[in-house]
Structure 1
Amino acid sequence: MPADANAYGDIFGGWLMSLMDMGAGLIAARRSHGRAVTVAMDGMQFHSPVKIGDEVSVYGELRKVGRTSLVIGIEAWRRPRHQEIANKVTEATFTFVAVDEDNRPRPVGQE
């Protein structure tokens, strides 16, 4: 939406990063069977802008499960409204820690 963009119609990188964090958070919560919080985000570089009206999709992959942590790779893709071809905009690696009701790290558990 226009409120999420700069004067040139490019979506703010922070908005896109938030979308990616939410996608990674869903993967972390599902795998850890509870609350998991973001503790790090590494390696984000923007390859092309996202314009107002573009369709944005994020895809995630669980890369590593530690005792209390999860590492999740996320890619963001854009597709212009009236086109069929999508382009990768950015990617990043998010690290989450599973936490208990007191916000202390808890074991993720094995599957």
Structure 2
Amino acid sequence: MPDTDTLPAREPTIRVAAMPSDANYTGDIFGGWLMGQVDIAGSIPAVQYARGRVVTVAVNSFVFKQPIFVGDIVSFYTAIIKTGHTSVTVAVEVFVQRNPAKPECVKVTEATLTYVAVGEDRKPRALPQTEG
């Protein structure tokens, strides 16, 4: 039986509905689809921080805690947890909301990814200096 969670008290980076085309023949959402969505969500704060193009260089961790089903509303919450000279590491938490008749919220995935800022030449570039 899944743990019932609550959504974080901030806006998600992205939110999507899990569709039949994202599922296998038994109705479970493909892990690869979820991994792609996590990468998209994680890249958004990385691009904003880097003020330009980034590339994924590592999936540091990825834990599937519960399955996702067709019809689930999938919310991706991100936070930058580390920055380097060229790299940005982002934590992504994924929650689903399901069963509108008896609403349930479940944390389904946790992941950490590292992105590197790249220039027009697609080679690593230094991150902009932040004021502070």
What percentage of residue pairs aligned between the two structures are identical? 44
Whole-Å separation in 1 of the counterparts to 2:61 and 2:46: 19
Unpaired runs of at least 5, structure 1: none
Q: How far 1:84 sits from its partner (Å)?
A: 3.3
Structure 1 residues 110 and 12: alpha-carbon distance in aligned structure 2, compared to 1, 3 A threshold: same
2:64 partner amino acid: F
Secondary structure of the residue aligned to 1:43 is: strand
User: Matched residue pairs, number?
Assistant: 111
| Partner in structure 2 of residue 93 of structure 1 | 112
- The one-letter code sitting in structure 1 at the alignment partner of 2:75 is S
Query: Do the aligned residues in 1 keep the contact of 2:61 with 2:113 (CA within 8 Å)?
Result: no
Give the gaps of 5 or more residues in structure 2: 1-18
Deviation at 1:7? 1.2
Distance 1:17 1:24 in 2: 10
4+ residue segments displaced more than 3 Å? none
Correspondent of 1:33 among 22, 26, 51: 51
**Cα distance in 2, alignment partners of residues 106 and 33 from structure 1:** 11
Give the conservation status (yes or no) of the 8 Å contact 1:55–1:81.
Answer: no
Task: Choose from 55, 79, 84 the match for 2:103.
Answer: 84
TM-score w.r.t. length of structure 2: 0.81
TM-score by length of 1: 0.95
